[in-house]
Amino acid sequence: MWSQKLMRVAWPAFLSACILELLVFAVVDPFELRWAGAALGWSRTGVYTASFFVFWAVGAASCALTALLGMPPAEVNCCPLASGERPDGCPQQ
């Protein structure tokens, strides 16, 4: 069950990172990137790799938030503990 939820977040985030990587670096040359006014000093491959993982992380956060907001309230508020182990105030679903 968790693997399906994870893939519902990771796969669209991966695809969006691929597309964003293509679009950004069709316009931007990695050797022209600057950080605080100084040249970045990374290889092209390093810039492509780091930016891909940043794009993927942002896409995954976006997909995870969308998945969380799309969950029914009963699933969000259910108590994960067994009936005998629930503390006071834990929903009885």
Q: In this structure, is residue 33 part of a structural domain?
A: yes
Count structural domains, the chain.
Answer: 1
Q: What is the mean pLDDT of the chain?
A: 88
Flag whether pLDDT at 86 surpasses 90: no
What residues contact residue 44 under an 8 Å CB cut-off, 6+ apart?
30, 31
- Select from 40, 63, 60 the least CA-distant residue to 50: 40
Pair of tokens at residue 61: 């956060």
pLDDT for 39-76, tens place per residue?
888 999 999 999 999 999 999 999 999 988 988 887 77
Q: In this structure, is residue 34 part of a structural domain?
A: yes
- Specify the pLDDT at position 91: 66
Q: Identify whether the C-beta of residue 16 lies closer than 8 Å to the C-beta of residue 66.
A: no
Q: In this structure, is residue 11 part of a structural domain?
A: yes
Q: In this structure, is residue 92 part of a structural domain?
A: no
Q: In this structure, is residue 90 part of a structural domain?
A: no
- Specify the pLDDT at position 41: 87
Q: In this structure, is residue 74 part of a structural domain?
A: yes
- Domain limits for position 7: 2-85
Determine the Cα–Cα distance for residues 5 and 86; give it in Å rounded to an integer: 25
Q: In this structure, is residue 6 part of a structural domain?
A: yes
